[in-house]
A and B are shown apart, each in its own frame.
Chain A
């Protein structure tokens, strides 16, 4: 396998490779038909079955259809109007079933995509893998601690490919930012503050009151871990990646309903602190009535700061009074480095520019994630966002939603201890 292909499988995309490769990554180009060398089905097309083609499931379908030689073979949903929506999206009739076992029993499916509410993720993932199919499952890996462990066991037992829907791991600017942090550009990264602030209270209009829990499953504890699980899981995954651990050590938090007293049983805001080895911390905040800070990661190091958003990453340095000089040349022709220009060394909030890493054209992390999954299936490699990261965020959420609900600190079982 070429190093380029391997790096793609690891989630590194063209953007992250651009500094190392002369121009285009031939691996990334569709003209490269090397993947056809290891077909997973006789006609060399990968046939996808989708369980849960709601809003997120349909977005995944849209992205999978941008990957060459992929087709949507069957969808499964308990809400039949979804079938017509899928038909419009795909542009042709797609068989629809209402029982996931019926989809899994079909012989004309090569891989299974799961985008149901998370309470079903583990059961469906395990059934799919035991049927011999690779799985792309939206986050979180499991709803309970036991479920997260059981998905890890199923991957080990079946040897199947499993990818969790943490698409940030397929964003070039996340890769570049984290690699630069690892190279020491902001010193020692000590804190990650993750803000997921928005003006969306999650409530969906329900065509029939009997469908309230089906449409608004995110609002009820029995089917949702609330903001901590639905939004925080992505940020926890980035913290795990940044701090090079499988999961944090402990979590504490709190939640409340401040405005949306509409019968929901999960909070409309949440704050949590997660402990990482060597005293490092992640702080997570999500509110639903103000989007001033939006969805942003702030990674603080003792020599600088990085902000990462859905579209870019920006480095800010802090002045150091004494630095190592490479030579006397710097005295007459100083070489600009991060920290020299974008400095934040007063007690006023910094409002100046930074050193920005842009999103590359046409690069949607979810598309890259879907493309990488298909490549993993063809070459039989575990994905970069595989079951270990899935367990890391999933277990943290399974524990953390209890911690924030009960406003206490709870230790998080480690992957190799449970």
Chain B
């Protein structure tokens, strides 16, 4: 059931959606709303999907109109979840994971195109983004975690919803074993026959870092076809797409929280017909012996990425920004800056763990307004 809420009494620039600052999973991006015009009002709907909450903000003439649009968008999100969730036994991705190790699997054109996009990004990022980390994620205990609070995390004082109870640091032997089950080049796609084949047994595709972005794109597409002109679709706030702009405004204002300073904002950007995604080390993690292990894996080292706190990427599609935010997280600030020189159509903001340094690459707005006390620690690019 779609629950739609109208926002009608807020003034210009007022924050209408305060993400829980204690929950970094959804605290990546905060939205500042624009005022509605006389003809339309701003409505929001929330829908649980893909282990998070999808939020839709849109301008419509009535709550009923907004609700109808929200139903279309969220039906599409649900359809994508049915297609791509590796937590669902009946999904097409589960079928591929289950069968492609033993024989070629014919899939439908949409899933095939999605996989082509994913593996094109793997090649483009030299393996920094790689869907074949499914088995690796399980080895580290990041499967079936779904953001549940861990007793261990509570004891350690890190009571945050991203803490996972099943996290475990695998042995070197276990990682050597999983080595042959990771690697995008071990997946064979045949576009003529639309088949997928794993060249190594035990491989599994993980839609993390791309699935939510794709679902956002598809939901936006449905909204556009339904005639919606101003909407913002957010997947747990880690991937957002701004469709059009609020009435009388140049774009949707998005606030990027400072990962090193709870409640502070690192930057504000205006988005219009574009998307922004973010990756954060605390989205899902566990702590062992005082060390925090995040769920974003470096497919090359088979270990959780270190050294980066948060990445944001702006791209024309949410699939691209979702992938980029994760690839940048793996590459780190320096390598990301080099890599993005070849990709002028994308913008990025990377906050390193070390001394809270950040690197802004073609970032469309300033970082003024961020934690001023620590500005000297930041390094402009």
Contact = CB atoms under 8 A, between A and B. Distances in A.
Interface in A84-103: 89-91
Interface stretch (A24-32, A340-348, A396-404): A24-32
A363 B104 contact: no
A89 B94 contact: no
Interface stretch (B85-93, B319-327, B370-378): B85-93
A385 B104 CA distance: 27
B68 interface: yes
Interface in B72-120: 89-92, 94-99, 102-110, 112-113
A371 to B, nearest CB: 10
Contacts of B112: 91
Contacts of A367: 95
A311 interface: yes
Contact of B95 (A205, A291, A362): A362
Interface string A12-55: 00000000000010000111000000000000000000000000
Given A359-B90, A362-B96, A89 B103 contact: no
B343 interface: no
A362 B107 contact: no
B39 interface: no
Contact of A362 (B1, B94, B106): B94
Interface in A352-379: 358-364, 367
A364 B90 contact: yes
Contacts of A66: 92, 106-108
B106 A68 contact: yes
B362 interface: no
A65 B106 CA distance: 8
B110 A363 contact: no
Contacts of A24: 102
B105 A30 contact: yes
A132 to B, nearest CB: 27
A89 B90 contact: no
Contact of B194 (A65, A199, A362): A65
A362 B92 contact: yes
Q: Interface residues of A: mostly helix, strand, loop or mixed?
A: loop
B132 to A, nearest CB: 17
Nearest to A291: B1
Most chain A CB atoms below 10 A, which of B68, B98, B108, B194: B108
B193 interface: yes
A285 to B, nearest CB: 20
Contacts of B113: 91
Most chain A CB atoms below 10 A, which of B68, B92, B107, B193: B92
Given A62-B110, A65-B109, A91-B113, A30 B104 contact: yes
A67 interface: yes
Q: Interface residues of B: mostly helix, strand, loop or mixed?
A: mixed
Interface in B216-260: 226
Sorting the interface of chain A by its residue count into under 10, 10 to 19, 20 to 34 or 35 or more gives: 20 to 34
A361 B97 contact: yes
Contacts of A359: 89-90
Contacts of B94: 361-362
Given A31-B104, A361-B98, A89 B110 contact: yes
B89 A65 contact: no
A312 B256 CA distance: 42
B109 A362 contact: no
Nearest to B91: A362
B103 A30 contact: yes
A89 B109 contact: yes
Nearest to B197: A31
Interface string B106-144: 111110110000000000000000000000000000000
Contacts of B92: 66, 362, 364
A311 B109 contact: no
Nearest to A32: B103
Contacts of B96: 362
Contact of A65 (B90, B97, B103, B108): B108
A67 B99 contact: no
A89 to B, nearest CB: 7
Contacts of B91: 362
Given A31-B103, A205-B68, A362-B99, A62 B108 contact: yes
A363 B108 CA distance: 15
A30 B89 CA distance: 19
A311 B1 contact: no
B89 A362 contact: yes
Contacts of A90: 109
A361 to B, nearest CB: 4
Contacts of A362: 89-92, 94-99
Contacts of A364: 90, 92, 95
Contacts of B98: 360-362
Nearest to A365: B90
Contacts of B106: 30, 65-68
A89 B111 CA distance: 10
Contacts of A89: 108-110
Contacts of A65: 106-109, 194
A14 to B, nearest CB: 10
Contacts of B193: 68
Nearest to A65: B108
A406 to B, nearest CB: 33
23 contacts: A24-B102, A29-B99, A30-B99, A30-B106, A31-B102, A31-B103, A62-B108, A68-B106, A89-B109, A89-B110, A90-B109, A91-B113, A199-B1, A311-B90, A359-B89, A360-B98, A361-B89, A361-B95, A361-B98, A362-B92, A362-B94, A362-B99, A367-B95
Given A65-B108, A362-B95, 18 more contacts: A24-B102, A29-B99, A29-B102, A30-B99, A31-B102, A31-B103, A31-B104, A62-B108, A65-B106, A66-B108, A89-B109, A89-B110, A205-B226, A358-B89, A362-B96, A362-B98, A363-B89, A364-B90
Interface of A: 24, 29-31, 62-63, 65-68, 89-91, 199, 205, 291, 311, 358-364, 367
Interface of B: 1, 68, 89-92, 94-99, 102-110, 112-113, 193-195, 226
Closest 3 CB pairs between A and B? A362-B95, A31-B103, A91-B109
